[in-house]
Each structure stands twice: as C-alpha cells, then as structure tokens.
Amino acid sequence: MVRGCRLRICNSKHRFRIILLLAVVVLAGMCPLAGAVSKGLPAPKSFPQRQLPAKAARPVSEAGKLIAEACENITSGNFKSAQEVLEGSDIRQIKGIEQLRMILSEYAAIEAKRKAFRNEVYTKQIDELEKLQEKSRPQDVNDINHAFLAIIKASDSLEESKKIALLQSPFAKQTIEKALRQSQEYEARGEWIKSYANCYSWLRTLEPDNTEYKEHAEELIEKIKIELSLKDNSCDTSAERHEGIKPKMFHRAVKALYFNYVSTVDYGEMAAKALKQCELTGEVLAKSNEKLAYQADAQKITGWLVGIETIQQELTGPFAVVTQDKFLKVFDEILALNSITIELPQEIVIARFSEASFSALDPYTNLVWPWQVKDFEKNMTQKFPGIGIQISKATGILKVVSLIPNTPAYSSGLDVDDVILAVDGEPTDDMSIQCAVSKITGPKGTRVTLTVRHAGTTETEDVVIVRDSIIVPTIRGWQRLNGGRWRYMIDPLNDIGYVRITNFTETTAPDMEIILNDLERRGLKGLIVDLRDNTGGYLSAAAAVVDMFVSEGLIVKSQPRWGISTYEAAHKKGTHPEYPLVVLINQHSASASEIVAGALQDAKYKRATLVGERTYGKGSVQTITQFPGDGSQFKYTMAYYHLPSDQRVKNRYIAEKMGRKDWGIAPDVEVKLCSDEQRKLNEVHGANEVLARTDSNGVSKLVKRYSLAETLEADPQLAIGLLVLKAKMIQEGHVLKIEETTGTSTSAKLPAES
C-alpha cells in the first residue's frame, strides 16, 4: 500500500460509555480516497526473512538450557510447566534461575489473590441471592434486576459446569420467567427500552449463545433506534437529523458495491433485512408510548404492513432471484408505498431502509449522511474544534470528568467534578450527553458560556471559553503527572517502559517515536505496549508503529475480491533496538490494534508476546467514497487483511455465523478478567489518567492517584504482562535489580517526573 494512504479500520460495534470525549465518538470509518476503489502497488517479488546479526556460536550451559526452557513456557502461558522445569533441576545459586523462581512465585501470589477475590465476590453474591430467595421470588423490576446482577456476578466466578448448575437452579429459573413475563407487558405498551434494559440485556449476558435471546434483543435494539429517529430532542429535530438525504444516494451506493465490495453481494438478504426494518417501523408508529414527531392512524399503518407483505411474497417464491435491479426496485416500491400510507418524510424511510440493508453485509458498511460527515471526520482524526474537556452524565448530572492539556478549558477555570448547569443559557437537566457535546463544541474562535457549580461549593459561575482546534493525544503512560505529562517508566529500577495507545491517528507514530527515543536515552531494556480498548484507526498509522520494531518484511496485506492486493512493509531505517516486548490486548482491541498485535506476534518475526484476552475480530478494511454525492459518503468493506505469514485475521461477524469463537488474535498468555476485576481496573486507570487543575504547590486538589503497587494489584493483565517481560529479559541475559525494602523486582520508589 502506498505509504500515507489513510485507510480507516476500526471496530464499529458500539460500547456504551459513561465518559465521552467532547465531540469524539467511538472511531468508526475510513478517511476519504479519491474514488471508490483503493489502488495499491503490486506485490513485491518477495519479502526476505528478517536477519539478525550473526553471533559467534557458543556452547549452551545446562543452566542456560534450563532458563530457556522455563522462559519459553512462561511466554506461552504455561507457568505450571515452567515451575516443573525449575523444580526438576538441582541447579541453584544461578542468578537467572533464582529470579525466574521469584517471577513464578509472584505469579502464584497474583493468582492466589485473584482466586481469593473471586471467591469473596461469589460468597457475597450467594448471600445476596439467599436474601432475595427469602422473598420467595422476585416481585418487582428492582428485585429482578438485583437478582440478575447477583446471578451474573456469582456465575462470573464459576467454572462452566457450575455456571450451568447455577442457571438451572429454581431461583434463577423463576427470575428469568418473571423477567420474560414483565418484558411482554413492556412491549405490549411499546416500552422497548424497558424490555431490553430489564430483561434481554441481562439474558444476553447470562446466556450469550442463546439464539432466541440474541435475536429478540437485536429486534428490540432496532425498535429503539427507529423510535429515536422519529423523536425530536433538545438538540435537534428528527427532520434536521435527516435533512439532505436523497434516493439517488442509496442507488449510487448500491451500484458501487457490485465491483468494490469484498465478497459477493447477497441482494436477497439485503432486501429481507430492509423489509423487516420497514415492518418494525410500522409497529413503532402503532405502539410507541413516546412523543413522536410523526403520527399515522391505524388504517394507514395496516396499509403499510399489507404492502410490505405483498413485496415480501414476490421475493420469496420458489423461483425468485433478487438481483441488484430487483433490489433497487424494491427500494423504490417502498418509497411509493410510504407516500400513500404512513406518509413519513421520505428521508427517514431512506435512512432506515439503507441502514438495515447494508447491515446484512457486515456491521461496518453504511452510508454517512451529510449531517454526519463532520462528526465522522472528527472521529477519524481525533481533531475537532472545541474546548478540551471530557464530560459524563452517568448520574444524571453533567460533570467535567477530565481536562485535556494545552487546551482552552485547561486555563479557563474549569476543573474536575465541576457541574455544568447550562450551556449558553440552556439548562442541561434534560440534555443528552450527545447534545451537550454538540452544543459545547463549535467553530474555532467562537465563544461558549458554561454555567458551572465548582466542586465543593454552592455558588455558580459563568465561564466564557473561546473554542480552538483540539488534538487528542493517543499515547499515554501508566500515570499522569502534574501539567498533563505522563510516567512512561513503569519499573525505573529495571528500565522497563509502558505506553498505552488509545487510537491510531496521524499523530500516533510521531508521538510514539519521541517517547521511545526518550526512554531509550534513559536506558530502556524492555517495553509494554497496551492496546486494550483500542478500537482502531488508520492502517498506515498501525503499520508505522509495527515498523518501529520490525526491520524489514511484510507487515500487513489487504486482499480485495478483485484487483491488486496492497501491502505495508517494514523498513530497516529507523528500527528501534530489539529489546523484549509485551503487548496487552483484550476483547475491545480491534482493527488497527489487531494488525499491530498480530504482526508483532506473527511466527515470521516473533517480536512480541501477547498477554490478555482474545481480540475483537474485525479482520477487514474499509474505505470511503463520495460517489453517492450531495455531501454524503459511502463507507464499505473492500478487503480482508492478512498478517506477515499470510494468515487472515478471522472476522468475528463471519465466525459467529458459523458458530465459531476463534475470531481475532489469541494471546500467548491468556489472562481473563471477571466483571468485578474489570470494574476495579477501570477505576484505578481512570483515576491515574484524569487531569485536573493544580494548586500553587503543584498538588491536585481533587484527584486521587494510585501507586504503582496499587495499580498492579488492580490490573492482573498488566501485572502478569510485567512478569512475562521480565522473564524475556532474563532469557536475553539481563539480571534484574531487586528493591531491597520490598523484596520485589518492581521498585516502589519513582522519580518525581518521568
């Protein structure tokens, strides 16, 4: 692939977050290319295997063999086997062997604490269940939700066989039966949000493989989305959100798929999904108890549904074949049917039909309407005009969660935990978080007035801030320092660094280069790269990060259905020293993150050891074109990506259809977290990342920071990743330094600034 070509790859499966960066939504999209087809360079004849400098052959001692075998087991996640290897030897007083024993001892201590924590959680939840059972059975929605929460938390700490037994218990069955009955009542009243929140969201968590629960939950989500699209809110009207949508945009997008989509297009499935969406739209109009911007009487809704059924019958006959032309005819027929029945604005019908039909292909292919384009581009670049704060409305009150350094907000007088009561005089009581974001952001150089109540006071103040261009840094350390800087040395005693990459943007590689150069000047001997919760970014940025650690050869290949594959390759110039490397991943590491993790793990290079949980499993590349016209854009899947050894990253969407779970990138060392461990981890890392204003002594007045020891205790994946990295260092001949006062190889004493 031509370097600098900005192919956007990311996970568009939305995770609802409490904290939202102003004007920043979860990345989902591709940056624009000149046309509908991405053109790349032809494949080089070959990519040579990476050659390390030749070393003089030396006989390997028995101790060296022992260390190598134990380390191989540790970096494969086989800690028990590593223990057996060392216990089976009578070699003593060899520094490397003794330090490996210490690492295994620390690992055992971590696992013992985790087991005790999970047992504590389980016991607490069983006690909670027993209290609930004293009421005979759940009586109301609060009882049901408490029961579900206790069952889920208890099962989270159990082996699979015991989980099944818990779900088969009389109390669990009673809870599920009561919830299902309650959900039927909600749905009869058109309260789909309540049905999902109080029943099917719990059932999907309890039984993720239950097809019936999954399909009904997805239908509820669709009804909720339709309902929201038909409602006005304090920020904009339904008509404003759909302004500028035209039939020709959809026609052009569908025609662009024929040659450019990554696989053969199933127009029959697209039509079926779109018509189902139209059915659900009729049901929402008939049953919703919300105040909708549009109404239709029962007779018109019946006419709409009968018309849809007629179209469906034409498509499902024994000899029916749905071609592209037939599919577009169905689209036109639906628009005509709408005009003589329910009479919704045509723009809304186009939007609903479009979203549903493209979802039949994959979760990442969709039209970006004119009003969405600006936000879409913000999400890709992490650049936007605003003031530079993170906000939350988790408790129903709009609060400042963190400041961004070197922004207007940082020097404005705002601080963490300030309550935002109004934006330009408009109260925030009924304002959604998305609406608040759109009102606080705005053109560079314009003013916004926030009425705030500072933390710990009862007085209000109007803070006037001039908006500016905000660039959100994508590289973080393990703890924030005063003024917005970060600690990147996580173990200064042993010169071990830590960098967390939150997204892959234009600034990621240059910022990473600066940080690595600084760490290397200070004697860096090992590095942890944290890609957890990184949902994606530019392909070129991901390749540039891999290029820092691999001297030559293929990084990633993008394979379209037609045409020439495109490539990203490593370059000898600028490769960093080959110090031991560990990469942290989890189920939310997607897209560009999977390319980085997969390429560094690949058997061709074996450059890094992956620690954590299996990644999301996107496995595909999207591109975007302005071909639909009139300010709209079309994002579609144009290729699958292959790692250096030419294996394709398995796509979650396809794997789930096949009933498989081996999508994405698997870790070398698996460390699965239960929900309470994840909650604790989020709390600690969140506190360490918050930036608040500081008093004259340079000490934060509002933010609690967690020490390294507390951070490692709250984050088993990081703690075990650190142990794995130290084992790799020992294997390379390093002697770890031990903190005398603690007896551990991780120093508790940190420099004032790093």
pLDDT band at 135 (very low <50, low <70, confident <90, very high): low
pTM: 0.86
Residue 232: pLDDT over 70:
yes
pLDDT tens column, 277-336? 999 999 999 999 999 999 999 999 999 999 999 999 999 877 789 999 999 999 999 999
Instruction: Provide CATH code, domain 383-471.
Output: 2.30.42.10
**Structure-block tokens of residue 331:** 């689209």
Q: What is the DSSP letter of 748?
A: S
Helix residue spans in 189-317 (DSSP H): 192-195, 201-206, 211-229, 238-241, 247-260, 267-287, 298-315
State the Cα–Cα distance between residues 75 and 667, nearest whole angstrom: 10
- Give me the catalytic one of 602, 668, 676, 715: 602
Helix residue spans in 569-618 (DSSP H): 592-601
- Give me the catalytic one of 223, 399, 439, 618: 618
Nearest by Cα to 207 from 171, 184, 173, 170: 173
State the Cα–Cα distance between residues 119 and 114, nearest whole angstrom: 8
- Give me the catalytic one of 157, 288, 558, 591: 591
State the Cα–Cα distance between residues 491 and 249, nearest whole angstrom: 55
Q: What pLDDT shows up at residue 26?
A: 30
Name the superfamily (CATH) of residues 8-44+473-674+721-731: 2-enoyl-CoA Hydratase; Chain A, domain 1 (3.90.226.10)
Cβ pair 436, 428 in contact under 8 A: yes
Cβ pair 637, 621 in contact under 8 A: yes
pLDDT tens column, 462-498? 999 999 998 889 999 999 987 789 999 999 999 999 9
Q: Which of 253-257, 290-294, 355-359, 429-433 has the lowest mean pLDDT?
A: 429-433
State the Cα–Cα distance between residues 113 and 89, nearest whole angstrom: 28
pLDDT tens column, 538-547? 999 999 999 9
Catalytic annotation present for 618: yes
State the Cα–Cα distance between residues 584 and 611, nearest whole angstrom: 5
Residue that is written with structure tokens 């070398």 in the block: 668
Q: What pLDDT shows up at residue 24?
A: 31
pLDDT tens column, 640-662? 999 999 999 999 999 998 989 99
State the Cα–Cα distance between residues 259 and 23, nearest whole angstrom: 35
With b meaning 16 or more CB within 10 Å and e meaning fewer, what string describes 723-736?
bbbbbbbbbeebeb
Catalytic annotation present for 591: yes
Nearest by Cα to 523 from 487, 551, 484, 492: 492
Cβ pair 661, 403 in contact under 8 A: no
Q: What pLDDT shows up at residue 732?
A: 95
Residue 506: pLDDT over 90:
yes
Domain boundaries, the chain: 8-44+473-674+721-731, 135-225, 231-363, 383-471
Query: What is the residue-averaged pLDDT of the chain?
Result: 87
Cβ pair 150, 125 in contact under 8 A: yes
